[in-house]
Chain A
């Protein structure tokens, strides 16, 4: 059972972190040079017209008034309206988040389910041919920039072989009938294959390498020798005893990865013209679309904080040594 005071402390910390994030986000983008009007600066724009535009965006109020309005609206889930599209921010960024998750969830699931097993295999065959070549490949996929592997994949599969679409979520002009149709359709799957594969290749290297390195340490422990002496089957030692004891850093890294998964990858989404949260955020930053930028960053931060919290709880289960701090028998 989870220690309630530990849980309370973690929840309190989470609330403080979120408040800090919300406040920092508000001020961060306002202290940066430029404002939404700077995107449309033109020799024929008079100062009066710029002021009119600022008023239109609600940016003519004093900063503290804007802050209190922002906090009040935030509390009721109103993240404002996008300057660029006029849409309410919350449904807009949630919609983009779903697009992002279509790519990142499968990639991260594959990476964090398959990755540790591969890492365990490499560690077990340490310095063997499998380990040497496998580690080299894992390091290569980690080091290769996504824009490069992505463009390479596009050149081969989209432009040369012409068997997969080059980007977007569906062919030009096609409008999804329903939100479900947008996510679960053959067309979406077809468009998502390349970015998922590229993202998986990039993501899987870390769980492989982390598991491998941690497990090499674990394999040197006495209890592993004892298990071998007991005649425990090799696969049981490898996966139940050695791999499980190597998973803690992978869980923590995985929690972060899941948190970041909500933000997607600006580069991945740019290369594959995928309308996810990462690209939306990038466009919004460039356009000084404060409400969207704030909303997107908040969502990302919230997810990272939330999954860190979950990781802390899960680690108490994975590693009983944490019980003194977080678990009671």
Chain B
């Protein structure tokens, strides 16, 4: 359920900022500081050397204000331990280069929380399996554990939900115990909607609270306006050619024009869409029955051949953004006019919730020619956008708007209480708030805290703080220097004041993070894991245990022959 938390007022904000500044300043004086050792001093200074200066990187403020501010706050807090850092603020290109090349000591990063992340495959598997701990993979922290690999593979493969949840929770326990990342916060998704024109707003879990088909089927037209306008400042990554799709916002819009086999319901669970039912035959075989009587918007029937064509051509032609979604797909067999069998190359229990949700059905009679006529179908610059989805693509003006009209032949047509959906691009959030109030915009998302507070004060606007699936943290290289010792990583985590981040940077709208799964993911979230409350004394204790000392100037020292003693803590 969303929380309607009133924002911290300006006075409280200033007081808390000043207080935190004072605390951090004092901590800085104590630790990084001038002339006082934070913990034990070395018996013989010659046997020790200062911990090397570390690079503390984040993206720039205009790229992601939260990550930038988390970086500022966290850096100061870590400096309190006597660690010398060098702040680097980078653009998003350099950020990804640094991650790919593993050239960072501290990197403020995050997983974004689309609803499909309720099946926590990306957060648990791709980010921590040792198979990806190389320059080609996405395990940027280079965390490696055979126990974890086995556990996360079990999670990926297990068809039984309760066992799968248990495996996922064990994964979270391992991650919390070994802190491969300093987890910080799970921000809420801040969204707002005008209630004069449409009512009965019901939010879906995660980032896209209102911008999804199930929510839009629920809203009731109370203002007599047949148009829903989604106001946003986010330009689409790539659009409209589906074979060129490179981001979650564009993929979401493709689900308006094309039908996937399953959609996710308001609670994030898979619900029938073009696929009426599905059945696992074994752990690598899934039969899906197609909804009967469906047609594309040009009147052609939707067939199992279209489904097979879509999966085969995406696999053959390649859509990098959907690479991991299509990966488990090996082949398909048409069993009868309504049934298709998917054969997977390896067990993947998220195939329904992720793959069938993210890959929609494309019309073969349109795309087969495009594939034949181009080196790659993504080169089709003016693609025919005919699909079978609940909305028909009408017009796209980059930088302005995308217009869709209701497909009256769709099985959901009667559920929508409006005729037109407009994806409207704005230059600023302030203009969106003004237009939400006067009714020109129906709803918005991706709001900053200040704008959300503004919207929350407007009578005819429903502003909600939707529990998010995003997970923020500070990525650290687990295979380098002092980071190799779990106790060092734990000490860093104790030095971070998550509550301060939450109250000051998110104005209370979010949760503290223990691992990459947010509490909003009620099914998989494990609350019973190791925790690291802000406690500098405990940090000092852990560092002393791990062999670190401080000199008289408060700088952290490590023995010249230092070796990690605790590189991994197994599950009990």
- Bound together, the chains give a CA A270 to CA B403 distance in angstroms of 21
Query: A275 and B96: CB pair below 8 A?
Result: no
Partner of A38, one of B97, B135, B137, B383: B97
Tell me which residues from 256 to 312 in chain A have a Cβ below 8 Å from any Cβ of chain B: 269-275, 279-280, 283, 286-288
Query: B122 and A56: CB pair below 8 A?
Result: no
B456 interface residue, CB < 8 Å from A? no
How many residues does chain B have at the interface if contact means C-beta atoms less than 8 Å apart?
Answer: 69
| Chain A, Cβ-Cβ closest to B424 | A172
Given the interface pairs A32-B93, A40-B237, A52-B318, the reply to whether A86 lies near B440 with Cβ below 8 Å is no
Task: Choose, from B170-178, B390-398, B409-417, the stretch at the interface.
Answer: B390-398
- Bound together, the chains give a CA A175 to CA B402 distance in angstroms of 10
Residues in B neighbouring A167, C-beta threshold 8 A: 426-427, 431, 435
B12 smallest CB distance to A (angstroms): 26
Given the interface pairs A172-B401, A175-B395, the reply to whether A40 lies near B321 with Cβ below 8 Å is yes
Query: B422 and A172: CB pair below 8 A?
Result: yes
| Chain A, Cβ-Cβ closest to B62 | A286
Residues in B neighbouring A143, C-beta threshold 8 A: none
- Bound together, the chains give a CA A41 to CA B323 distance in angstroms of 13
Query: A86 and B324: CB pair below 8 A?
Result: no
- Bound together, the chains give a CA A32 to CA B427 distance in angstroms of 25
Residues in A neighbouring B380, C-beta threshold 8 A: 86
Partner of A39, one of B94, B135, B237, B376: B237
A287 smallest CB distance to B (angstroms): 7
- Bound together, the chains give a CA A35 to CA B135 distance in angstroms of 18
Query: B127 and A43: CB pair below 8 A?
Result: yes
- Bound together, the chains give a CA A52 to CA B441 distance in angstroms of 38
Residues in A neighbouring B376, C-beta threshold 8 A: 56
Given the interface pairs A39-B92, A56-B320, A84-B398, the reply to whether A173 lies near B229 with Cβ below 8 Å is yes
B452-488 near A? 1/0 per residue, CB < 8 Å: 0000000000000000000000000000000000000
Classify chain A: how many residues form its interface, as a range: 35 or more
Query: A43 and B126: CB pair below 8 A?
Result: yes
B474 smallest CB distance to A (angstroms): 15
B371-410 near A? 1/0 per residue, CB < 8 Å: 0000010111111000000000011111111010000000
Query: B229 and A92: CB pair below 8 A?
Result: no
B347 interface residue, CB < 8 Å from A? no
| Chain A, Cβ-Cβ closest to B426 | A273
Residues in A neighbouring B139, C-beta threshold 8 A: 43
A190 smallest CB distance to B (angstroms): 13
Task: Choose, from B43-51, B208-216, B241-249, B337-345, the stretch at the interface.
Answer: B241-249
Task: Choose, from A119-127, A158-166, A220-228, the stretch at the interface.
Answer: A158-166
Query: A34 and B93: CB pair below 8 A?
Result: yes
A13 interface residue, CB < 8 Å from B? no
- Bound together, the chains give a CA A167 to CA B111 distance in angstroms of 33
Query: B96 and A41: CB pair below 8 A?
Result: yes
Query: A173 and B420: CB pair below 8 A?
Result: yes
| Chain B, Cβ-Cβ closest to A51 | B320
Residues in B neighbouring A270, C-beta threshold 8 A: 427-428
> Using a CB–CB distance below 8 Å, which chain A residues touch chain B?
32-35, 37-50, 52-53, 56, 81-88, 92, 96, 151, 154-155, 158-159, 162, 165-169, 171-173, 175, 269-275, 279-280, 283, 286-288
